[in-house]
Amino acid sequence: MTRLRLLLLLGLLLRVAVCSVNTITLCKIGEFKHENLCCLQCSAGTYLRNPCQENHNKSECAPCDSEHFIDHKNRESECFPCSVCRDDQEEVAKCSRTADRVCQCKQGTYCDSENCLERCHTCSSCPDGRVVRKCNATMDTVCDKFDSEPGQSGSQCFCFSKPLGIVVIIAAFIIIIGAVIILILKIICYCKRGENIQLLAGSLGTGVTEPP
């Protein structure tokens, strides 16, 4: 009898332990564990003021103050301060309780690093206006350069500097003129050769007599 009571007591303790573990570990998505309770997370734009008092229940949440935000469900004790645009940047999206302020470099400048921690740089200009892609807030101007180094931005264009371009044009013109002259000479030679053959044939024809 004593042994039976002991087994029943051990079984009861084991059941209580299992139930306690299940109560702690069975928090659902969107909940967080507080002591032995599972509490619902606060929604975006609010922060946690007091955890729930009943399992799987709502917590006490408060809205973010001005110039502060949280953009996801959370159990944070306070909201995050919104970013502040530098004097070389401009605001493109306002700060709200659910989103941070978005800043970018002003027109005519750019910053291509992550989060743009350094100052914005002045956009480059292309010689002769050969722009492949215009400068924007996150990327410098891309120029069309024939002498670009491997890996350097810019399309490969078979362009020449002005003095070299003039020389190439003159050389091409001379080659074309020479080819035309040679073609004319060949035509003249061919014509003269045809005339000579006709004369030879004529002279041969007059020198031949018919047999009696």
What total number of domains does the chain contain?
3
- Whether residue 16 lies inside any domain: the answer is no
- Whether residue 81 lies inside any domain: the answer is yes
In a shared domain, residues 113 and 180: no
CA distance 141 to 22: 60
In a shared domain, residues 92 and 133: no
- For residue 156, what pLDDT is reported? 45
Query: Over the stretch 69-113, which tens digit does the pLDDT of each residue have?
Result: 999 999 999 999 999 999 999 999 999 999 999 999 999 999 998
Residues 74, 77, 79: CA angle, nearest 5 degrees: 75
CA distance 118 to 114: 10
- Whether residue 113 lies inside any domain: the answer is yes
CA distance 31 to 55: 10
In a shared domain, residues 44 and 90: yes
- Whether residue 179 lies inside any domain: the answer is yes
Residue 47: beta bridge partners?
62
Domain range for 174? 160-191
CB 208 within 8 A of CB 201: no
In a shared domain, residues 79 and 112: no
Low-confidence spans in the chain with pLDDT less than 70:
1-14, 16-25, 146-163, 194-212
Specify the amino acid at residue 192.
K
- For residue 144, what pLDDT is reported? 86
In a shared domain, residues 98 and 74: yes
Give pTM, 2 decimals.
0.53
- Whether residue 51 lies inside any domain: the answer is yes
In a shared domain, residues 94 and 77: yes
In a shared domain, residues 95 and 129: no
Tokens in use for 51?
């955890």
- CATH at residue 65: 2.10.50.10
- For residue 150, what pLDDT is reported? 47
Tokens in use for 100?
């941070």
Residue 73's Cβ-count burial label (10 Å; 0-12, 13-18, 19+) is middle
In a shared domain, residues 135 and 73: no
